[in-house]
Amino acid sequence: MRACIFFLLSLFITAAVSAQDKDKLFGGEAPKPRNGFIISGSGDFDIPAGDMAKRFGVSYRLGPAVLYKTTSNWLFGAKWDFIVGGTIKEDSLMINITDRYSAKSGSLYEFINNSGQRVGIPVYERGYAAGISVGKIIPRNKLHPDNGLTLLATVGFMQHRLNIFDKDKAVPQLRGALVKGYDRLTNGAFVEGYVGYSYFSQFQLVNFTIGIDALAGFTQGRRDYLYDVMHGDNKQRLDVLYGIRAGWFIPVFKRRSEDLLFE
């Protein structure tokens, strides 16, 4: 999986660089960087580390961002990522309401319902990370001043929990507010760094970014009492995610004089 992702990363960057080199054949005066808003949607494949790896397996982040790009290639804006995953590593999770024959299969935990039947309740990782971003695009050459190495730093607030999805209300111990005694709600501040390559085509039809990022969350458990382990959850945590991110841009740049000249 990792080898495939890195191959795609290299392929995208090589294609972008080749397109830039072909444009040199037309010659002309070097254009100036464009400024305006960039609306983007991106996805991230994450590998957890720190305390995050003790609770969850691999996960994904998906979400929008809005950035403003200046004529000096500085970037300012905000982003929101939804965190989703299906691998839970909490060995003691809901141990007090299972029996010795209960099993765990994938994301399903087994319980005895009100009718005495054994049912599977799925448990997922869910969360979000929202923050303010600042960064810069460092162009590869003067002929393509909008494209190049992209550095982006984000600070903000993150939250994650276990989503115990008992949609049929089959287990009485998981109804209403009782589920809060098992969901491991955790939140706090985070910082994130992104290093990648951004490409904007001349006619704004193909625009993307791809690269790697790292997120560190300085979080804390927020539940006063967990029923299965019989104590509170207010421990300070270091939640780390290492990811490979790819995103698509919709630029809303101001028109340049050379663009109007050739219309």
Q: Give the model confidence (pLDDT) of 175-214 as tens digits.
A: 899 999 999 999 999 999 999 999 999 877 899 999 999 9
* Contact predicate 205/194, CB 8 Å: no
Predicted local confidence at residue 259, as pLDDT: 52
Tell which phi-psi region holds residue 184, choosing left (phi > 0), alpha (psi between -120 and 50) or beta: left
DSSP secondary structure string, 200-243?
A: E-TTSSSEEEEEEEEEEEEEEE-EEEETTTTEEE--EEEEEEEE
Q: What is the DSSP letter of 83?
A: E
Backbone angles phi, psi at 23, to 5 degrees: -65, -25
Q: Tell me which residue of 84, 104, 92, 106 sits closest to 182, measured CA to CA.
A: 92
Amino acid identity for residue 249 in this structure? F
Lowest mean per-residue pLDDT among 44-48, 53-57, 93-97, 219-223: 93-97
pLDDT digits (tens, 9 = 90+) for 113-134: 888 888 889 999 999 999 999 9
Tell me what pLDDT residue 257 has: 54
Residue 261: pLDDT over 90: no
Q: How far apart are CA 199 and CA 179, in angstroms?
A: 46
pLDDT confidence bin for 256, thresholds 50/70/90: low
Distance between CA atoms of residues 103 and 92, nearest Å? 13
Burial class (CB in 10 A: 0-12, 13-18, 19+), 2: exposed
Q: Output the six-digit token pair for 40.
A: 């983007």
Q: Which of 134-171 are b and which e, b meaning 16 or more Cβ less than 10 Å from the residue's Cβ? A: ebbbebbeebbbbbbebebebebebbbbbbbebeeebb
d(CA 248, CA 40): 6
